[in-house]
Amino acid sequence: MNQPWAFIATCDLVGHVRGRGGPFPKVIESGEGVGWVPADLAISAFGAIAPENAFGALGDLRLVPDAQATAIFPATHPDGASTRFYLAHQRNIDGSPWASCPRTFLDNAIEILDRDFDIQVMVSFEHEFALSRADGSAIGGLPFGFDAYRNVDQFSQDLLATLNDNGFDPETFLPEYGSGQFEVTLGPAPAKIAADRAIILREIVRDTAKRFDLVATFAPLLGPNLVGNGVHVHISLWRNGSPITYAQSRPGNLSVEAEAACAGILEHARAIVALTAPSQISFLRLQPHRWSAGGICVAKQNREALLRICPQVTIKSSDVTKAFNFEYRAADATANPWIVLGTLIYAMHEGLSSKLSIPHVIDEELEQAANVVAMPSSLEEALAALDSDETVKSWFDPVLLQTFISIRASEEQELHSLTPEERCARYASVY
C-alpha cells in the first residue's frame, strides 16, 4: 500500500496557498515540517517573483504544520484517496519564528491585545465568489433566486458536507445578487481559527467546483461594472469567555471598549485598506453605491460603511450580547486573511491604547451624513497613505512590509498597459 501524504501549506502576501507534500504522519509528528524558501513570499498574484525583494536566492526555512489547522479534501475521482491538508508557520531552520511569516504576524497581534487589555476576538469571515461552467457558460438564475440555488445543488451539498466534515461550522450558503455569484459564511470562531478556516475554505470551494466541472473565482470584480466579490470580517470582543462588545445605552450599542476599537480602525483606515484590498482592481469595487465600502465611518446596518454595526435579531428571546458584532467591509480575496485580521487587531489595540472615540454613529445614507471621510480612490492612493502612516508600518516586520510593497509594484507594472476589463479578467483567472 502506498504511504499517505499530506500537503503542508502557507498563505502568501497575495492570498494564494502554496506549499509542499510530505509523508503522513511522519511530517506532522516529527515537528520539523518541510523545506521552504524565503523568496517564495515575494511571488506575485500572477506567479513571478517580485524583482525588488530582500531574499534573492539565499536562505532556507521550514514549513512547520499546525496539527489543529487542518482539513481533509475528498478524493478527486472514485478510485482516488483523500488529501490531508495542514497550514503551517514559516520558521527558521532552528525552529525559531521567522519575522516575515504572515501567520506569526497574526499570532503577535492576538497576543498583544490579550496581554494589554485581556481582550480576545471572535471572528467570522463572509466570502462571496462567482461560479461558471468549465466551458465558460453562465450558471444562470435570478438574483437571490431559488433557480440559481438549484442550478448548483450538487456543488453546494458537497461543499457544505466537506465543510461540516471538517468542523468548519457553515452557517449559510446562498445565491447572491450577481450573475453566478454565491456567498458562504462560517460560524464565529477565535481569531486565529477563523483566519485559518477562511484560507482553507477558499481552497475547498475551488476544489469542490472542479469536481463538478465548474470554475470558482473569488476575484474582487469580474468586470469593472459588474457586482463585486467581497470578504466581510465580522468581529466581536470578548473577555474571559464573556462578550464585551454590546452596551444597550450607548451610541450604536457599542461598549466603550468596542467604540475605541472601531475608532482605531477608522483612524488608520486609509492605510489599512492597502493591506485588506490590495489588488489593482480592488478599488473599482470600493466606491459609493456599490454596497461595498463607500466611506470611512461606523454606521448602523449600512452596507456602504467601512464598519457596519450588524442588527440584533430579537424575533425570539436570545442573548443579544453574544451575537452582537461589527463588520469590516473593505477586504477581498486578493488579501491574506492572516494579514487582514492581524492588521485590524493591531488597529483596535491602537484605538484602545489611545482611548479613541467615534464622533458619530451614522444611521442614515452616507451621502446624507456629515463628515464622512472618503475611501482611497486607488491602490496607489492607499499605498501612499500606508507609506505615511508610521503607526501602521510599525506593526510589521520591515522585510515583510517591503516585500508586500514590492509585489504590488510588480503587479502594477505587469498590468499597466491593460484595460480595466482586461485587468479584471487576469485576476479572475488566478483567484
Res 133 pLDDT > 70: yes
SS (H, E, C) 380-416: HHHHHHHHHCHHHHHCCCHHHHHHHHHHHHHHHHHHC
pLDDT per residue as tens digits for the range 380-421: 999 999 999 999 999 999 999 999 999 999 999 999 999 999
Residue 61 pLDDT greater than 70, yes or no: yes
Q: How confident is the model at residue 313 (pLDDT cuts 50, 70, 90)?
A: confident
pLDDT above 50 (res 1): no
Count of C-beta atoms within a 10 Å radius of residue 426:
20
Name the percent of the chain lying above pLDDT 90. 86
Least confident of 63-67, 361-365, 386-390, 404-408: 361-365
Residue 154 has pLDDT above 90, yes or no: yes
Q: pLDDT tens digits for 20-48?
A: 999 999 999 999 999 999 999 999 999 99
Q: If pLDDT is split at 50, 70 and 90, which confidence band does 365 have?
A: confident
Phi, psi (deg, nearest 5) at residue 329: -115, 5
Average pLDDT over the chain, rounded to whole? Answer: 94
Whether the predicted pLDDT of 314 surpasses 80: no
Ordered DSSP codes for 283-305:
HHHSSTTSSS--EEEEEES-TTE
Q: Which of 73-77, 106-110, 130-134, 348-352 has the lowest mean pLDDT?
A: 73-77
Q: Minimal CA–CA distance to 284: which of 424, 428, 418?
A: 424
pLDDT surpassing 70 at residue 3? no
Average pLDDT over every residue of 314-322: 79
Query: Measured between alpha carbons, how far is residue 413 from residues 51, 329, 407, 423 in Å?
Result: 11, 28, 10, 12
How far apart CA 123 and CA 192 sit, in angstroms, is: 9
Q: Is the CB of residue 291 less than 8 Å from the CB of residue 303?
A: yes
Question: Is the separation of the CB atoms in 33 and 20 below 8 Å?
Answer: no
CATH number 3.10.20.70 given to 5-101:
yes
425 pLDDT band, cuts 50/70/90, is: very high
pLDDT tens by residue, 266-312: 999 999 999 999 999 999 999 888 888 889 999 998 889 999 999 88
- The CATH number given to 107-124+214-430 is 3.30.590.10
Integer Cα distance of 284 and 420 in angstroms? 9
pLDDT digits (tens, 9 = 90+) for 368-377: 787 888 899 9
Helices 256-267, 269-276: axis angle to 10 degrees equals: 80
Residue spans in the chain of domains classed CATH 3.10.20.70: 5-101
Q: Say which DSSP state 224 is in.
A: T
Q: Which grid cell sits at 379?
A: 491602490
When mean pLDDT is compared across 56-70, 185-199, 300-314, the lowest value belongs to: 300-314
Whole-model pTM: value is: 0.96
Residue ranges, CATH 3.30.590.10, the chain: 107-124+214-430
Packed helices 337-353 and 269-276: angle between N→C axes, nearest 10 degrees: 160
Name the residue with cell 478524493.
75
